[in-house]
Structure formats: C-alpha cells, structure tokens
Amino acid sequence: MVSEYSQRLERIAAELRRSRLDALIVTAPPNIRYLSGFTGSNAVLLVPADGEAVLYTDPRYEIQADEEVSCAVKVSRKPLLKAVAADLARRRSLRRIGFESGRIRYADYLSLREALPASRALEPQTDLIERLRMVKSDAEVEAIRRSMAIAAEACQKVMASLRPPAREAEVAAELDCQMRRLGAEKSAFETIVLFGEHAALPHGRPGPRALRQGELVLVDVGAVLEGYASDMTRMAVAGQPNERLRRLYRVLLEAQRAALEELRPGVRAGMVDRAARRVLERHGLADCFVHSTGHGLGLEVHEAPRLGKGENLRLRAGMVITVEPGIYVEGWGGLRVEDTVVVTSNGCEILTPLGKELIVL
Ligand code: ZN
Ligand code: ZN
C-alpha cells in the first residue's frame, strides 16, 4: 500500500505540472486518505508539483498520522489551513496554488485567501483526484469485494428470519448490527428497508411501519471495510407474489441484465443507462425509473462515474460501479435490484455474491 500512495502522489504531481500549478491543497477527507493513507477527520494535505507532500493535522492525530502516513507530517495547534498558508508564504517558488473548489467550505476558502500573500494565486480545481480514483487498483477491488461479501451475508441472514410483523427500522438496525459483527467498520450509508407502498420512495427512510402479509420488502444495504464501500439492493415478498409483481420484477431483471451486458471498457457511461432504460420503455415503464442506472463507489459510496442519461465518459477496466435500475409506482410500491460490479478487460464481474430472484419470505 505504501508504494501505492507514493504512486498516486506522483500522478497528481504530474497533473499539476501539466496544468502549470505549483501545488495543490487537498481538503476532502477521502482524497487525503487516497493520497496519504490518513484516516483521521482533521487534516489538510499539501501536494507540491515538485517535492514531498506534507500532511497537516492536529495533536489528537499525531500518533495515528505517524502510523498511517508515509509522507511528511506536520502537527499544528492552529487552524490547519493557516498553518498551510504560513508555509506557503515561506516557500516563494509555490505561486500558483490549486485548491478543491467543490470540497472546501466558503469560510475556509476566505481564511485561506486572507492568510496567503497577495502574490499567491488560488486556482479552483475540480475532480483532479476524483478522476484518478475512478479506476481502482487490485487491492482496492479486493477491499470492495470483501466489503460486499459482508453486506451480502448480513442481507441473507436478516432476510432468512424476516417475517410479518417486523418493523422497517428494526430490520435496518439488525442489518447494521450484522455487518458490524461480520467485521464491517460501519454501514456505507443509512441502511434502507422499506415495505409495501413505502418502497415507491427510492431513498425512503425506514420507520415504524410493520410488514404485512403479501407485502414487498426492499433492502438496500452496504458496508465499509478498510474505508471501501459496497452497495446492493435485493427484494423480497411476504407470501406469494401476485401476477403484477412477478411481471414487473421480470422486466426489472431484464433491464439490469441489459445494462450489465453493455458494460465493458470503451463504452460510454450513458449507453449503459440507455440499455436499462430501453427495456423499461418497451414495457411502458420509462416514467417509473426516476434515477440514473448506477454510480461509482470506493472510498465514498457515491463517486464518479455516474451511469446517467447522456454521460459521455468512457468506462475503463478497474472502474467499480453499481448497476441498479428501479421501477417506482406511487401508491403501489417500488422495485430495485442493485449489484456492485467491476469493469474487466472484456466485460464486467459482479462482486455481489447473491442470486437475484425475488425472495419469498
Ligand atoms: Zn444502494
Ligand atoms: Zn447505489
């Protein structure tokens, strides 16, 4: 891993030289972790185009930084951006300084600007590190695979004992607990468990609603392991599914299969979305699919690329993304099936180790 961090830093430094920047101030915690290995909550990373990166953190993290980080570490008692600015003021050769404009608070930006000499230019940068993060290394894919295995096992266990009149919030808590028991650091997002017509809300919140016989169950769950997120959705029904549910679920699986078959290096992200959408359109369900077909994931649960309408970005081997078409009908309920997959040299590999048939409880 140590050499992976220094390789990543070198690639960012090369980007900076190409953009004629002298340094980059990194403020987004996942980006700091990606480049340095530091997992604490308070840090700033200064990456010069030439020379060694420096991680700034406060005394609470001194020991942790020494353990985790292979670049230089500076422990500061003052606001970290002030410490960075003071160093930049001394290093006269660093004049054009990039910063993560989408990842810094406005007040922090203002204090940074104020602390820097007027001769230093602050140049807004977007997605510099996020672009690099899109393609995962083998070690990252393995972390996501293990994170996915934990979420899947928890899902299987909890589904196996799920019966009316369980409550949504209870089941969600049970999933969180199982994932922790299986070794997860935490849940990747607020676990979603929705019953019946409540499942028509793609990101509904589990509440006190109790499961009734005949109702749908939507479970959307993910773990975090070694910082890496996983994400999956499975569906169940309490009792025998009726004809409408069977038909819609078949269409949904067909849409997901169409998207999965589209996945390979060189394909534009928007084409994967189109493949899923076309199946739903053919069945008159286009309006019932209200979100994009998938998203990248890694150190964050939602990251680039987005598999959305008209996205031109071309997929590359090593990208890890979700494929999650859905059908939502207000007043009736919602269906979604979601896998985490990695793009391979000639297609994709599904990392979610569970079947996709509708589970009958
Ligand atoms: Zn999900
Ligand atoms: Zn997702």
Mean pLDDT of 206-235: 97
Task: Among the bound ligands, name the one nearest to the CA of residue 321.
Answer: 2
The residue ranges of DSSP E strands in 58-191, in sequence order, are 72-75, 96-100, 121-125, 186-187
Strands 294-296 and 333-336: unpaired
Ligand 1 mean position, distance from CA 282 (Å): 25
What is the whole-number distance in angstroms between the Cα of residue 294 and the centre of ligand 2? 6
Q: Burial of 138 by CB count in 10 Å (0-12 exposed, 13-18 middle, 19+ buried)? A: exposed
Quick: pLDDT tens for 103-146.
Answer: 999 999 999 999 999 999 999 999 999 999 999 999 999 999 99
- Sorted by sequence, the CB contacts under 8 Å of residue 176 that are 6+ apart come out as 187, 191
- Domain spans of the chain, in order of start: 2-132, 138-360
Distance from the alpha carbon of residue 163 to the mean position of ligand 2, in angstroms: 25
**Single pTM value for the model:** 0.95
Nearby residues for ligand 2 (ion, Cβ within 5 Å)? 231, 322
Distance from the CA of 38 to the center of ligand 1, in angstroms?
27
Ligand nearest to the CA of 222: 1
pLDDT at 2 over 80: no
Domain 138-360 adopts which CATH fold?
Creatine Amidinohydrolase (3.90.230)
Query: Parallel, antiparallel, or unpaired for β 232-237 and 228-229?
Result: unpaired
How many angstroms does the Cα of residue 320 sit away from the middle of ligand 2?
12
Instruction: Give 227 Cα–ligand 1 centroid separation in angstroms.
Output: 17
Average pLDDT, the chain: 96
Chain segment 11-62, per-residue pLDDT in tens: 999 999 999 999 999 999 999 999 999 999 999 999 999 989 999 999 999 9
Centre of ligand 1 to C-alpha 14, Å, is 35
**In the chain, pLDDT over 90 holds for what percent of residues?**
98
Query: What is 2-132's CATH number?
Result: 3.40.350.10
Residue 272's pLDDT is 98
Nearest to 324 by CA among 205, 221, 226: 221
Give the pLDDT confidence of 302-340 residue by residue, as tens digits. 999 999 999 999 999 999 999 999 999 999 999 999 999
pLDDT of residue 101: 97
Rounded to an integer, what distance in angstroms lies between the CA atom of residue 2 and that of residue 35?
10
Task: List residues bridging with 225 in a β-sheet.
Answer: 228
**Residue 90 CA, ligand 1 centroid: distance in Å:** 47
Question: Is the pLDDT confidence value at 1 over 60?
Answer: no
Percent of the chain with pLDDT over 70: 99
Q: How far apart are CA 211 and CA 171, in angstroms?
A: 10
